Amino acid sequence: MSKATFSSATGSVSPIPLQSALPVIVVNAAVLLLLLSFGNSSTLIPLMPLMYYCSRRITVEPRLSKWLWLVAGICATGVLSLHLPPTRKALAGHYLAQAQRACVESNNAAWGAALNRAKGWYPNHPILLYAQYRVSLEGGEELRRDDLLLKAVDEGLEDPDGLYEAARVLAKRGEQAKEISLYRRILKLRPAHPEANYCLAMYYDQEGHDRPKAVHHLRIARDNLPEDNVWRARCEELLCEFGQEP
């Protein structure tokens, strides 16, 4: 009996060359990572027989090898892109937008699920950290709460009101340089922000010794505050003290 006949009769399988097996390994690893990345490993169970069948078919059909390398390259590129920080941050932003819509619709279950998905993709997303800070306002340790807010700022928070809250935390801690930097950052996002303009006016008058800039920011603050607001009345008092038309 020849060796080929013996192998056929016993049902043994000849070893697969590494060159043929390598793209199969890459594709299977890429698909597994892709599915695990979405946090639903249960989908692997029905797909595993199909993946095995396709792998065996491709390895015994040499003419399909070049196409398998193409698929392997696409899958590997997709998985690598999926795990890059900018991609993960963008996916977290998508789920945070879903969470915001669920919040508007008062759908607490969907809101919580979307936040958890966002956290799974990019736990340091500034909007997520700020949301955690807002939730912690209802109860929790003040130091940890403030640290969450400041971390959101460091990660690139662009919400003017959140930045203003962070500036007040820094003022409380005596970190004036960082506080003033945040006021300027707020005014780049919302030039008419009344509280940030008022605080900058106080800084320029008392610390910066720059009366023209103080007057400029006081006028903006006054013009963007309600008529009955106590800060508006204070702005008018200060403008009178500075010899300016209120």
Identify the sign of the CA torsion 115, 118, 124, 128: negative
Tally the C-alpha atoms within 13 A of residue 193's C-alpha that lie toward its C-beta. 22
Residue with tokens 């945040």: 182
* The pLDDT value given to residue 7: 42
Tens-digit pLDDT string for the chain (246 aa): 444 443 444 444 444 454 555 655 666 666 656 555 554 444 555 655 666 566 566 555 556 556 666 666 666 666 666 667 777 778 777 877 877 777 677 777 777 777 777 777 777 778 777 777 777 776 666 777 888 888 889 888 888 999 999 999 999 999 999 999 999 999 999 999 999 999 999 999 888 678 889 999 999 999 998 888 888 888 888 888 877 665
Q: Indicate the domain borders of the chain.
A: 17-83, 191-246
Distance, CA of 5 to CA of 61 (rounded, Å): 20
* The pLDDT value given to residue 70: 64
H or E segment to which residue 245 belongs? none
- Please, are residues 135 and 118 in contact by the beta-carbon 8 Å criterion? no
Q: What phi, psi does 225 have (nearest 5°)?
A: -110, 150
* The pLDDT value given to residue 147: 87
* The pLDDT value given to residue 6: 38
Give CA separation, 97 vs 81, 110, 137, in Å. 21, 12, 21
